[in-house]
Chains A and B, each alone.
Chain A
Amino acid sequence: MSFGGASGNTKVFRPTPPDRGSFPLDHDGECKIQMQIYLDCLRSSRSRDRVPADCRLLAKEYLNCRMERGLMLKDNWVNLGLPDDKRSSSTDTPESKS
């Protein structure tokens, strides 16, 4: 992709590892329902411009499901860029790069 490109200002693309590492695989499909609801919301709101706020809440539900089943390390919602909920009692475990 960068073969023969202009020298100097071009940056070679290097994929970086994700900040919190990899999601453990959901082999048993424990959070499949939340995922389906989220995807249905995405499809229905396709005509709109942004990911609507209610779909983001569904994303939050999915991640919450993962956290509860140990498929994701718990963290504050604000660290994940998602709207905080009133009963935010998740343990504050700031992630370090895996």
Chain B
Amino acid sequence: MPRILVSRIRSRLVSVARPVQQCRYVLDSLRCMSTSPNSGTEPPTVSDSPQPAKLNTPASRIHSNSHLARRMKELGITVGDLQREHVRREQLKNRTSGYYALSLLIGTLALSYAAVPFYRLLCQKAGYAGTPIAESATITADRLIPVDSNRKITVRFESDVSRSLPWKFEPLQRQVTVTPGETALAFFKATNLSNQDIIGVATYNVTPDQIAPYFSKIQCFCFEQQQLRAGEQVDMPIFFFIDPDFDTDPQMKHIHEVVLNYTFFKAKTNASGQYLTVPDAAGNEIAGQIPITVSSPGA
């Protein structure tokens, strides 16, 4: 460490010896020590504008007849003072840069937390990455006008029943061909094969996934508990349509077939008849109370 100080002093003294007018200030209270072209031979003249300077040197390394030592003696400043001052300034500098770094870190953290709701908001407004834009709840009549093009989509129906549900559940038509914007009615039939009243809940799935934002159901039998008495058979309709914007979406150009799959689960009860588990939107049976609310945009 002392070697570095000495080299610093030397470099400063060398720079002091340059013919350019330079001010070397020693602490705030000292005045400027300017240099003349022959600074090596004669003491420097002192100008009157005080500015701070940094000088670090152990006392033993200063020549007693150097102009620096003389000046310091004049003002009653010891080398220790200079060193402390230097250390203080360094600390202040470090602290300032530390504060800058800390504020940058906190700013970045805050931005990253704020990005999540901001991104969600942006997606909802702009429909980016497949988020459906039309978040308003009701399907208005102007969406139910069939498009003029020859676009036809075949909707096939499939049905599934959970293993714990002793029902027979099947679609009553294999497929329906629709145009985007045209509403269609389709039926499923469910038969309770057991000798008890059972409550079931249905959920659905649409393949391919890309059509999901465009596939709208006006009314169906899903997500609500449906009770079938023992041995009862019931027809369950669904009334749906494919949004007319599907026709103009270039990503949907290659889609001509859609598979609509309904799955029935059993709503579980405990000993006193209270319903315990209901399927969530993904088809997993979760603990919940009736009625089911599926988290969906606009719900």
A binds B: yes
Which residues of A approach B to under 8 Å, CB–CB?
1-2, 8-11, 13-23, 25-27, 29, 32, 35, 38-39, 42-43, 49-51, 56, 59, 62-63, 72, 76, 78-82, 94-97
| A94 CB contact (under 8 Å) in B138, B210, B216, B228 | B138
Tell me if B44 counts as interface (CB < 8 A to partner A).
Answer: no
Q: Which of A14, A62, A95 gathers the greatest number of chain B CB atoms within 10 Å?
A: A14
Which residues of chain B in 20-49 are interfacial with respect to chain A, using CB atoms and an 8 Å cutoff?
none
Residue pair B235, A17 in contact (C-beta under 8 Å): no
Residue pair B179, A82 in contact (C-beta under 8 Å): no
| B212 CB contact (under 8 Å) in A11, A20, A94 | A11
The 7 A-B residue pairs whose C-beta atoms are closest, nearest first, are: A81-B144, A11-B130, A81-B183, A22-B224, A18-B217, A59-B185, A16-B296
Q: How many residues of B contact A (CB 8 A)?
A: 61
Residue pair B239, A63 in contact (C-beta under 8 Å): yes
Q: Given the complex of chains A and B, what is the CA–CA distance between A32 and B179 in angstroms?
A: 26
Which residues of B approach A to under 8 Å, CB–CB?
129-131, 137-141, 144-145, 152, 172-173, 176-179, 181-185, 187, 203-207, 209-210, 212-213, 216-224, 226-229, 232, 234-239, 241, 281, 293-299
Residue pair B178, A51 in contact (C-beta under 8 Å): yes
Interface of A is mostly: loop
Q: Given the complex of chains A and B, what is the CA–CA distance between A8 and B236 in angstroms?
A: 37
Residue pair A19, B219 in contact (C-beta under 8 Å): yes
- Taking CB as reference atom, which chain B residue is nearest A12? B209
Separation in Å of the B254 CB from the closest CB of chain A?
16
Separation in Å of the A55 CB from the closest CB of chain B?
9
| A20 CB contact (under 8 Å) in B141, B219, B226 | B219
Q: A51-B177, A80-B218 are in contact. List 5 more A-B contacts (CB 8 A).
A: A15-B281, A19-B218, A22-B226, A26-B235, A79-B144
Known contacts being A11-B130, A43-B173, A50-B178, is A22 close to B221, with CB within 8 Å?
Answer: yes
- Taking CB as reference atom, which chain B residue is nearest A73? B219
| B-side contacts of A39, CB under 8 Å | 172-173, 187
| A-side contacts of B209, CB under 8 Å | 1-2, 10-11, 13
Residue pair B222, A17 in contact (C-beta under 8 Å): yes
| B-side contacts of A18, CB under 8 Å | 217-220, 222-223, 238
| A22 CB contact (under 8 Å) in B177, B187, B220, B295 | B220
Q: Given the complex of chains A and B, what is the CA–CA distance between A32 and B115 in angstroms?
A: 53
Known contacts being A15-B203, A18-B222, A80-B239, is A42 close to B173, with CB within 8 Å?
Answer: yes
| B-side contacts of A94, CB under 8 Å | 138
| A-side contacts of B144, CB under 8 Å | 78-81
Q: Can you list 19 residue pairs at the A/B interface with Cβ under 8 Å?
A: A11-B131, A14-B296, A15-B294, A16-B216, A16-B296, A17-B296, A18-B222, A18-B223, A18-B238, A22-B222, A22-B223, A23-B237, A25-B226, A72-B219, A79-B141, A80-B183, A81-B141, A81-B181, A94-B138
